[in-house]
């Protein structure tokens, strides 16, 4: 080659290098597009809406592709080789979407970042899932092991064979990608308005997570939910507004109570299966509960999230004021909180919690301490219990409650969470099912599932009868409160019979549908005063009002604030306020209408105790003053 040809040869080499670089960037962009398509397909369970998400000018699909593309080229620069990032970023994008798909098959919500807080719980439930579907579980485990081995092999192989990046290419990629990624992350605070984010059609819809995930896509919506642990004070919260809230109409000191013993039982997945009209159950699986019915509990959950219902029932606070998808037991109970346990302790009661599973589950060991329980009887310190299937039986737990009560001289407040009713409802859980199922609508496997569930309801009913029979023989009055935490995850039983259009409940619907899909049995009974009738359908957060009042006490918050709320509202849900006269207020928190001052004050007090400065502790929770000071 002559000297004259050298410049043209250098230019040709530069063009080839530029072409290769462009092809690599295009490939990374296509890989980002493919990753978003797969992620959305998994998270949505269908490809129907994915094209609209990516192509509509009103949706941020291509923005998500662009951000992922920037992440690919930045990680490639860190590794020093092209496409190496795909072996890390793609699995990290696709795995949460797959888990979201699995979650939505049993619950009605997509995956939230807070779900990662209870990964250990999921691990503990693996034996249960294995027992229900052993071959599928084995296949899943082998598939995961094989996938991890393949990824490790590809990472090693990629270091050898993927094209390397020059120092200049790595620098350019980082200089371009990192500022853009950083700028984008600054837009992802859902609590602040962003003009640029608005122009990109990224709309944080924290009040409606189903629409949030549908409009923004899985990855963007998931990112919006990361800051949910940062709960901001409601507008107007300060010491003056707390001072203006009226406590109980009559001083609490006027009412000394009757020293009645109180036993609250939250029965796992307890529901009335005879509500299914296209299936005939015989005999009635819940005669005792039906005869002693006080009304219904309007559960804020479906198929799971037991701890959220428990949180409301023990504290009188509501999940409606907390970020959608949050789990107070996991995220927010980090300091002493008022509860029925702290109230009854202040009256000289022994307070004890019972749950025949491991104490770390749902963080209960720490939470019960924060809620003021004297002790917690869990699987670790309970006698070995008889089991029905894989779970401790309701009968064994009831006997343990009775044994503990008989050994307690002082008045007591016991709170128990059963376990027997937990799904899945495999065919052979019980040696013999005593409830017959007649239905032409149900496939055989779904009829078997319903039969297993109904047998568990019958045994829960028998356990309540045993508890009530024991209480009737006692000299001291005994108050028993029983309720289900949520409808059971019966899957296709609901769709086969037409009870629900989907295998999970809706979050936003007319009241008649919401009650159909969220009501569970409620019993409020006294050994001296009988059944408390006509309570109606109430939120779990209303239960402390009934318990404290029936025990003969008054309290600034439990019978004062909650009592006034109870006179007007039966249900306080994040999507629905239901008045006593069945008048409804859908989307009350977001529709722009003025919020009832009673609801506003309720929210102020809840924030004050959970996150705020405790301005109202002395007036509304006097039993907390000493506890809060000691813990501080």
Structural domain includes residue 191: yes
CA-CA distance, 628 to 499, in Å (whole number)? 47
**Does residue 330 contact residue 363 with C-beta atoms inside 8 Å?**
yes
Global confidence as pTM: 0.76
Smallest CA-to-CA distance from 231 within 326, 114, 310 is with 326
Structural domain includes residue 486: yes
* Same domain membership, residue 141 and residue 275: no
CA-CA distance, 507 to 526, in Å (whole number)? 34
* Same domain membership, residue 159 and residue 104: yes
* Same domain membership, residue 491 and residue 344: yes
* Same domain membership, residue 277 and residue 225: no
Structural domain harbouring 269: 258-587
Query: How big is the CA angle at 187 (ends 184 and 192), to the nearest 5 degrees?
Result: 175
- Say what the alpha-carbon torsion angle 450, 455, 461, 463 is, to the nearest 10 degrees: -140
Domain finish residue from 229, 245, 267: 229
Helix (H, G, I), strand (E, B) or coil at 478: strand
Domain finish residue from 229, 247, 280: 229
At what angle are helices 86-106 and 134-161 packed, to 10 degrees? 160
What backbone torsions phi and psi does residue 138 show, to the nearest 5 degrees?
-60, -45
**Residue 317 region, left (φ>0) first, then alpha (ψ -120 to 50), else beta?**
beta
Structural domain includes residue 239: no
Domain finish residue from 569, 587, 605: 587
Length of the chain: 632
Within 10 A of 89 (CB to CB), how many other CB atoms are there? 19
The alpha helices in 45-114, defined as continuous H runs, are 50-55, 61-79, 86-106
CA-CA distance, 333 to 233, in Å (whole number)? 16
| Cis peptide bond prior to 60, omega within 30° of 0 | no
Smallest CA-to-CA distance from 219 within 122, 89, 327 is with 89
* Same domain membership, residue 224 and residue 348: no
Structural domain includes residue 236: no
At what angle are helices 306-315 and 543-550 packed, to 10 degrees? 40
* Same domain membership, residue 115 and residue 78: yes
What are the counts of helices (DSSP H) followed by strands (DSSP E) for the chain?
A: 26, 16
* Same domain membership, residue 384 and residue 344: yes
Structural domain includes residue 51: yes
CA-CA distance, 332 to 265, in Å (whole number)? 24
* Same domain membership, residue 409 and residue 364: yes
The CATH number covering residue 535 comes to 3.40.720.10
| Cis peptide bond prior to 283, omega within 30° of 0 | yes
Cα dihedral across residues 332, 337, 341, 343: positive or negative: negative
Structural domain includes residue 614: no
Residue 552: DSSP 8-state? T
The alpha helices in 292-393, defined as continuous H runs, are 306-315, 328-331, 340-346, 364-370
**Residue 66 region, left (φ>0) first, then alpha (ψ -120 to 50), else beta?**
alpha
What is the 3-state composition of the chain as percent helix, strand, coil, each rounded to the nearest 5? 55, 10, 35
The secondary structure of 260-278, three-state, reads CEEEEEEECCCCCHHHCCC
pLDDT at 460: 97
At what angle are helices 61-79 and 6-44 packed, to 10 degrees? 120
What are the Cα distances from residue 135, in Å, to 19, 138, 139, 424? Answer: 50, 5, 6, 15
H-run or E-run covering 414: strand 412-417
What backbone torsions phi and psi does residue 399 show, to the nearest 5 degrees?
-65, -35
* Same domain membership, residue 349 and residue 219: no
The residues of the chain scoring below 50 in pLDDT are 1-4, 632
Domain count, the chain: 2
Task: Label residue 416 exposed, middle or buried (CB < 10 Å: 0-12, 13-18, 19+).
Answer: buried
The alpha helices in 473-498, defined as continuous H runs, are 492-497
pLDDT at 54: 93
Structural domain includes residue 545: yes
Structural domain includes residue 608: no
**Does residue 253 contact residue 343 with C-beta atoms inside 8 Å?**
no
* Same domain membership, residue 162 and residue 306: no
Task: Label residue 38 exposed, middle or buried (CB < 10 Å: 0-12, 13-18, 19+).
Answer: middle
For residue 520, give every residue at least 6 positions away whose Cβ sits within 8 Å of its Cβ, in sequence order, or none.
270, 271, 272, 296, 297, 299, 483, 484, 485, 486, 487
The number of C-alpha atoms within 13 Å of 558 and in the hemisphere containing its C-beta is 30
* Same domain membership, residue 129 and residue 174: yes
According to DSSP, the residues that pair with 377 across neighbouring strands are 354
* Same domain membership, residue 207 and residue 292: no
């Amino acid at each position: 080659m002559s000297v004259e040809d050298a410049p043209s040869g250098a230019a040709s080499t530069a063009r080839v290098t530029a072409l290769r670089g462009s092809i690599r960037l295009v490939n990374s962009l296509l890989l980002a597009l493919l990753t978003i398509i797969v992620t959305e397909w998994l998270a949505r369970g269908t490809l129907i809406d994915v094209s609209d998400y990516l192509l509509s000018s009103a949706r941020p699909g291509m923005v998500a592709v662009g951000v992922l593309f920037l992440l690919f080229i930045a990680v490639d620069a860190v590794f020093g080789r092209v496409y190496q990032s795909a072996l890390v970023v793609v699995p990290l994008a696709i795995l949460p979407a797959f888990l979201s798909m699995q979650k939505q098959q049993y619950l009605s919500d997509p995956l939230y970042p807070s779900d990662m807080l209870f990964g250990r719980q999921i691990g503990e439930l693996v034996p249960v899932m294995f027992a229900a579907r052993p071959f599928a579980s084995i296949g899943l485990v082998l598939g995961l092991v094989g996938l991890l081995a393949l990824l490790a092999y590809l990472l090693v192989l990629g270091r050898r064979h993927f094209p390397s990046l020059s120092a200049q290419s790595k620098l350019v990629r980082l200089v371009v990608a990192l500022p853009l990624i950083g700028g984008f992350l600054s837009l992802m605070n859902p609590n602040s308005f962003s003009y640029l984010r608005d122009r990109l059609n990224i709309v944080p819809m924290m009040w409606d997570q189903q629409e949030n995930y549908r409009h923004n896509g899985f990855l963007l919506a998931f990112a919006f939910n990361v800051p949910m642990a940062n709960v901001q004070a409601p507008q107007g919260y300060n010491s003056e507004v707390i001072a203006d809230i009226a406590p109980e109409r009559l001083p609490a000191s006027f009412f000394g109570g009757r020293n009645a013993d109180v036993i609250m039982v939250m029965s796992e997945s307890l529901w009335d299966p005879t509500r299914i009209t296209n299936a005939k159950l015989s005999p009635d699986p819940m005669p005792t509960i039906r005869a002693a019915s006080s009304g219904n509990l309007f559960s804020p959950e479906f198929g799971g999230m037991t701890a959220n219902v428990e949180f409301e029932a023990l504290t009188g606070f509501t999940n409606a004021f907390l970020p959608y998808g949050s789990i107070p037991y996991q995220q927010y109970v980090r300091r002493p909180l008022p509860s029925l346990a702290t109230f009854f302790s202040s009256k000289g009661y022994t307070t004890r919690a019972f749950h025949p599973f491991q104490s770390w589950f749902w963080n209960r060991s720490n939470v019960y301490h924060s809620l003021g329980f004297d002790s917690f009887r869990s699987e670790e310190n309970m006698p070995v219990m008889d089991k029905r299937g894989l779970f401790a039986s309701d009968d064994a737990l009831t006997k343990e409650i009775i044994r503990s009560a008989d050994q307690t001289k002082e008045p007591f407040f016991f709170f128990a969470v059963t376990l027997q009713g937990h799904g899945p409802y495999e065919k052979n859980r019980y040696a013999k099912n005593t409830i017959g199922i007649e239905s032409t609508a149900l496939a055989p496997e779904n009829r078997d599932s319903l039969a297993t569930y109904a047998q568990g309801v019958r045994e829960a009913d028998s356990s309540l009868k045993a508890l009530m029979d024991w209480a009737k023989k006692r000299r001291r009055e005994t108050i028993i409160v029983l309720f289900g935490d949520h409808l059971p995850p019966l899957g296709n039983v609901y769709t086969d019979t037409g009870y629900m259009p989907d295998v999970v409940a809706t979050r936003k619907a007319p009241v008649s549908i919401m009650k159909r899909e969220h009501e569970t049995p409620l019993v409020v009974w006294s050994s001296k005063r009988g059944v408390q009738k006509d309570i109606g359908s109430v939120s779990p957060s209303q239960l402390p009002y009934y318990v404290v009042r029936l025990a003969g006490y008054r309290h600034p918050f439990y019978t004062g604030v909650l009592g006034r709320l109870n006179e007007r509202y039966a249900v306080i849900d994040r999507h629905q306020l239901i008045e006593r006269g069945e008048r409804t207020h859908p989307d009350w928190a977001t529709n722009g209408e003025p919020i009832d001052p009673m609801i506003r004050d309720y929210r102020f007090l809840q924030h004050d105790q959970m996150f705020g400065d405790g301005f109202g502790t002395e007036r509304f929770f006097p039993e907390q003053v000493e506890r809060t000071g000691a813990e501080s």
